[in-house]
Copies of this chain bind each other. A is one copy, B any other.
Amino acid sequence: MKSKRVSITDIAKELQISPSTVSRALNDTGKISEPRKKEILDLAKKMGYRPNPFAKGLVQNKTKTIGLLIPEFTHHFYSRMLEGIESVTSKAGYQLIICTSNEKQKQEIKACQTFLNSRVDGVLATVCKKNEKVDHLQEIINSDIQLVFMDRQCEELEASHVISNDFDGAFQAVEYLIKNRYKRTAHIKGPKNLSTTFNRLMGYKESLKKANLSVESELILESDDPYLLKENLKNLLMEKSIDSLFAYSDYLAYDAYQVAFEIGLKIPQDLAIIGFADEPISQYISPSLSTVNQKPFEMGAQAAQILLNQIKNSETPCEYISLQTELMIRDSI
């Protein structure tokens, strides 16, 4: 029962005119008389005509397709970013090809191959944690495919990016602790090699410096090994040498909650905590967690908009956007 798809030539034959005229009417391009146009459009509708994207793509060499590379979607941050992206791309008639890297470089490389094969017009990417090499991303650029980074910066490559102002976000968080008369603030660092980790650490340090407080390396904790982190944190807390904590993420902040509770400390009385990202859990844990909102929806939307601009005009210079964060004060301080 498969009714054959109706093509431009079908319409042309029906109307005894040429395909070019039909094409012109359908695309509202070039000269064409109004009555003709109307006649064609009406028939097209009646016959249920749908343009064949392949034929179009073949001849125009544009795919109206954007590749999206994301580490994973289970963090609310990325889901929300996706919604921001989708809100602008769908409006512009672009489609997304989504690939997840699961933070593995191998999958990231495969994703880039997919993008190349699919001839996407542009790529939006949040690179994975451990990228020693960026050849696969360089290849995207070399193939004249527009590229915009999100959330995580990639300094080796010349491409636009939209990231959070991690430095300011961290600075303000720590500043808020200091203003509230907390004297010794620890920091739990993020994963190695990420620009975000570096920038939040810097914000922490600078904030201390500005308040004439010393930056002590014993108060800066690595988080790569969760067990070790908890041990180190426990020691710090037992020695009562800190009264507050700024964590790279809400999840790491929650780890601190657990350690604190384990040794009988109260939050925020004994330990004030501020996290980062404003994941949903920060509202649900108790006490609710003060944190830094990164505006993921806006991040996605802006990145998509920049990409579309670059696709439209490849001469568009790179843009480097740092989104202001928002300090969300709840009950953990």
Residues of A within 8 A of B (CB): 2, 50-55, 57-58, 63, 72-74, 76, 78-80, 82-83, 86, 90, 95-100, 114, 116-119, 144, 254, 280-281, 284-286
Contacts and interface: CB of A to CB of B under 8 A. Distances in A.
Contacts of A284: 254, 281, 284-285
Nearest to A297: B74
Contacts of A96: 97-98
A175 to B, nearest CB: 27
A178 to B, nearest CB: 28
The oligomer's copy count stands at 2
A119 B73 CA distance: 26
Contacts of A78: 79
Given A79-B73, A284-B281, A86 B98 contact: yes
A83 to B, nearest CB: 6
Contacts of A51: 117
Contact of A83 (B50, B74, B97): B74
Contact of A281 (B54, B95, B280): B280
A280 to B, nearest CB: 6
Most buried by B among A74, A114, A116, A285: A74
A83 B95 contact: no
Contact of A2 (B50, B79, B86, B144): B144
Contact of A76 (B74, B95, B144): B74
A74 B285 CA distance: 18
